[in-house]
A and B are shown apart, each in its own frame.
Chain A
Amino acid sequence: MNRNVRRQFASSIWLGVMYLLTVLALIPLGLVLWFTVSKGLPSVLHPEFFTNSFRPFGIPGGGIAHAIVGTAILVGLASLMAIPIGILGGVYVAEYAVDPWASWVRLASDVLVGTPSIAIGLFAYALVVVPVHHFSGIAGSIALAILMLPIVIRTTEGAVALIPNGLRESGLALGLPRWRVSLQLILPTAAPGVITGALLAVARASGETAPLLFTSLGNTLFKVDPTQAMQALPLTIYQYALLPYKSLQDQAWGAALVLVVMVLGINLLSRWVLRRQIRLAGQL
């Protein structure tokens, strides 16, 4: 009896410790959200914040339209480059796992995932900015594409590996070439998982500052031409937060809120798509 009580006591103590640690782990997340929302909300509540671009300190009505459009174009171009290549690479790595080439691709993408994003920015600077002698959205999107590529490869590989082998064999047994089975049967089946990976890569690229610092540089003007220097949301936060003017600092918080909401939205969407994939794979 006595031992039983002691055991229950110890159990509830440790359970309590675990709850406490869980709460501790959640505190940073809560604080980040709380600060961004409370500090960013005043800026976001003005409609012109979304329709206007940069205005110098002292002139009211400044907005981040140039940064939102810039981020959309930068990330859009990066996606056009990274997602198709990443998907094909991921299918290759998963479907031809025993090929020696595949293990090199896998190693390369692992190294790329671990590469500091500022180094990737520097690489794009040397590759694109230096030869043409000016900063451009294209240079920025190339840096972002390099950042996205390994994420797309590895998530595609994971999604394809989730497809039961029976499906592959059934396709091959019909006398179809291996590449057609991979691309026209396995890949469509893995599509939701692949889309999840692409969305995660988009979310990641949307929030990156370092690769853009010496590629896209930033711009106070509203630009849609990617051969010019372009503004982006993370650049806005970085630049405005360093300025000594309260109104621009407030706009930095506003931009941060927009970015956090955007990335959160993409992440939730990708989780929803992934859940469909898991359900589908269970039926096959």
Chain B
Amino acid sequence: MRAVLGAGDTKLKVEQLSFYYGKNQALKDVSFEIPERRITAIIGPSGCGKSTLLRVFNRMYDLIPSARAGGKVLLDGEDVVTTRKLLELRQKVGMVFQRPSPFPMSIRDNVAFAPRLLGWSSSRVKEVVRQSLERAALWDEVNDRLEAPATSLSGGQQQRLAIARCLAVSPEVILMDEPCSALDPVATLKIEDLMAELMRDYTIVIVTHNMQQAARVSDYTAFMLMNPEGRYGELIEFAPTANLFNQPQDQRTEAYITGRFG
């Protein structure tokens, strides 16, 4: 059920989160709060653990046997790290990847795939396909060729299809892992416009190595860095985007956003 949270209230509360790949620590003591129906960007140089952090939020790391998380990530008060309701969690927290990975089937079936497997009625699936494609700003481009293979779409269209696919299972949070890094500027702009649109109904967390993108689209920004001694990622600063870019509190943040390293 839709939470009763107002826009801006805390949706995801990260508390003292640490993360390990086997013996290697990848994150240490990350704490911050992601607000409901806002766009939160996570930025930082390669290897700072920003993708790892994102993959904790929907337990994508479960695929890696040696991976282990400590601390808490509270989603509407329930701990993501220890929850046993993994499938519900992943429906609630959708994810869009760097590569759109279209399923090798028609455009319609890509969106309908999960709803059908979840056993929804065919009329409901039909409705969801249309709604999701509309919300992903793809309906007008594909409604006359829903049976065409998804691989026939352009890269930008494929990425919007991936978003539609994710919307189809009614998530509340959408995680985006560098969703535009393989796209040209025009397609990137379309995705960014779409994010602004989706923000009204969804909490969005985007990992990007493109600082300009973070500044353009996000309301809040988290800046992460790899600790040079411990080789683990840590959160340096978290603030409303305008504040972080205009008056960074930490020297390292300032150095990064002014392009002195990273």
Contact = CB atoms under 8 A, between A and B. Distances in A.
Contact of A280 (B65, B91, B104, B165): B104
A175 interface: yes
B97 A166 contact: yes
B117 interface: yes
A284 B151 contact: yes
B117 A173 contact: no
B169 A175 contact: yes
A180 B168 CA distance: 17
Contacts of B58: 173
A122 interface: no
A195 B95 CA distance: 32
Contact of A174 (B65, B102, B166): B166
Contacts of B252: none
Interface residues of B, number: 28
B94 interface: yes
B91 A175 contact: yes
Among A175, A176, A188, A189, the one with the most B-chain Cβ atoms within 10 Å of its Cβ is A175
Given A185-B113, A280-B104, A172 B165 contact: no
Interface in A161-197: 164, 166-177, 180, 184-185, 188-189
A283 interface: yes
A185 B99 CA distance: 17
Nearest to B90: A175
B114 interface: yes
A45 interface: no
Given A188-B104, A284-B101, A284-B102, A173 B95 contact: yes
B113 A169 contact: no
A111 interface: no
A31 interface: no
Nearest to A97: B65
Contacts of A177: 87
Contact of A184 (B63, B97, B117, B151): B117
Interface in B12-59: 58
A228 to B, nearest CB: 45
A164 B114 contact: no
A284 B169 CA distance: 22
Interface string B58-84: 101001010000000000000000000
Contacts of B90: 172-175
Nearest to A164: B101
Interface in A241-284: 280, 283-284
A5 interface: no
A174 B99 CA distance: 15
B87 A169 contact: no
Given A175-B169, A189-B104, A284-B102, A170 B162 contact: yes
A96 B169 CA distance: 26
A26 interface: no
Given A169-B60, A184-B117, A176 B87 contact: yes
Given A169-B101, A189-B103, 14 more contacts: A98-B65, A164-B99, A166-B101, A167-B101, A170-B101, A171-B103, A173-B94, A175-B92, A175-B114, A175-B169, A176-B114, A185-B113, A189-B104, A283-B151
Interface of B: 58, 60, 63, 65, 87-92, 94-95, 97, 99, 101-104, 113-114, 117-118, 151, 162, 165-166, 168-169
9 closest residue pairs by CB, A with B? A175-B91, A175-B90, A166-B101, A173-B95, A174-B114, A283-B151, A170-B101, A166-B99, A175-B87
8 contacts: A166-B101, A170-B97, A170-B162, A171-B113, A173-B58, A176-B117, A280-B104, A284-B101
Interface of A: 98, 164, 166-177, 180, 184-185, 188-189, 280, 283-284
